[in-house]
Chain A
């Protein structure tokens, strides 16, 4: 990566600054190495697809996407962001899977006046007190997805729920969000080690506690392990499993049948019935041969949002105010269907309940069951006082 960036830098020097004004440069920060590299792959494939559909031009201007690998580390993410700002002179920065990376790059990117679009992370700080005019999200605020699950379980009078999440900032945020809308009884609230691989001790405790349901937030490899072990213990048939960010298109290929019948929640799914989504999912599957995840959907939308902004100012990239005003209208064909931006630049959007089912071709997918929230707003926007 570094070599590629260095080469790109050298080429830029040779080419001189004459071409700079005629191309849009987008810095795309994600995780491309290590086990989480699968998420980065979904995001990169989706961004490439969006740009290809627009014939390499956003808002009619030639566009180049510069990818940077944060290696799942906030300090590396910040370094990548600073290189993009100073060396590549990017016009936009997007991507960003992790909340801690987003919080680390927030200050240098936003104070430079560059527009920052989160295509995944939604820490409460940026939705509330630290919101900014040149920050937008094409995903959600962290609390919202577990809020939807809490609401669903309350509506269905499910009580006595065993709650489990990894012991780090996002784990506590998810449980906070869940409890904001879950009105039943919490049987126990357990925090496990981040990156833990064996959950048999916790599963034995769940069996002994005899709750009516289990709610977990265990992203990535942790979820693959827990869901498999939960099924192997035989508990899945007795105590239903509700989860967020655990069984998705990045983990389901490895979990398989062990996830069948589990519940998930989210703002988007591959089967959502709107023209933009149908086009996106079929083009994505045709180009890459796998089912896109919400990570992919958010990245695709981020590129389309940038396209709408540049189009509105007729390619005048100096007009940041004009681009922000255009983005605030969310005037593009989002794969989630039409939506509006809230005052903190987070989407006001629907949240759905999914179940894991076996599709016709034998793979396990999320199937949309019902709408939990219509036009849901996050819990922090009232703390956001944006100085335009």
Chain B
């Protein structure tokens, strides 16, 4: 196998992984700390993508677009927490699923009413449009390298935030035992709003970075949401560290499966059979991975310590 191709595919896996991490980080915090299933997490991703793409079209400034995308995530996230989610914390999971599914439909219709059903035009900023020669003869899109850099930076900042600050201590305590945290006099209500806003912002960041490479259209958040759920289940619900490890693992396994499974199968079976089995098996790989992890470690790779 060509080592340069393996290197390029490894980068692809990491890049896919850090995108997943940004989505999964918010989801795992909200699920782990507030015990809230938020199916509408993908909507924040979509809101970030639309706000950034529309702003970039209007202003031609990438910086303003980034600010608009993140700002939209913060505003919409906080607004939805205050208006909707506060009423859901005490309810059971079925109510939460119903309500947040309703939010998905609501947001999908809202963007369609504002921007229409045609996908929105979104392109990479000129200074990231080219390719970088990572090794001689292996050019790699600069924009994707930027995504890797941003993703790893955010991961490092989150690690410091959760591991080294007072807020992080409260977040970890919340993941372990919410009731005791409230009994100790911590204002859980504000903590919840902050954590939810943080999660929505990370999703919006993922969305605004995804816009130029994917399709900015109504319903774009649902595709990535399912993978984000797989990631947090593998990583251990409530664990940022787990989400990071699982996101990279899922990104890597999925990319390698799509890239190398078919040629690999072709060495042991006929080409026609490999053409059929390869893509089918590649699309199943991450779910097989999830099943295997759940079998050996039912609470995920890095579950938060609880009582």
Contacts and interface: CB of A to CB of B under 8 A. Distances in A.
Contact of A190 (B5, B143, B223, B262): B262
Interface of A is mostly: helix
Nearest to B144: A200
A208 B4 contact: yes
Interface in A182-224: 189-193, 195, 197-198, 200-202, 204-205, 207-208, 221, 224
B129 interface: yes
Given A204-B259, A257-B123, A224 B279 contact: no
B215 to A, nearest CB: 4
Contacts of A229: 141, 213
B284 to A, nearest CB: 10
Interface string B125-145: 000011100000001010110
B279 A234 contact: no
A38 B143 CA distance: 29
Interface residues of A, number: 37
A35 B5 contact: no
A282 interface: no
Interface in A55-74: none
Nearest to A209: B5
Given A193-B282, A234-B130, 13 more contacts: A34-B219, A37-B117, A200-B12, A201-B9, A204-B8, A204-B259, A207-B5, A207-B8, A224-B119, A225-B214, A228-B212, A253-B121, A256-B123
Interface in B199-221: 212-219
A198 to B, nearest CB: 6
A202 B213 CA distance: 14
B275 A228 contact: no
B15 interface: yes
B133 to A, nearest CB: 10
A159 B126 CA distance: 34
Interface in A139-168: 167
A193 B283 contact: yes
Nearest to B142: A232
A51 to B, nearest CB: 22
19 contacts: A37-B117, A38-B117, A38-B119, A191-B278, A191-B279, A193-B282, A197-B215, A200-B15, A200-B141, A200-B255, A201-B9, A201-B255, A208-B8, A232-B129, A232-B143, A232-B212, A233-B141, A253-B121, A254-B120
Contacts of B144: 200, 232
A234 B118 CA distance: 26
A254 B123 CA distance: 9
Given A192-B279, A201-B259, A234-B141, A253 B217 contact: no
Nearest to B4: A208
Contacts of B216: 254
B124 interface: yes
A320 B224 CA distance: 50
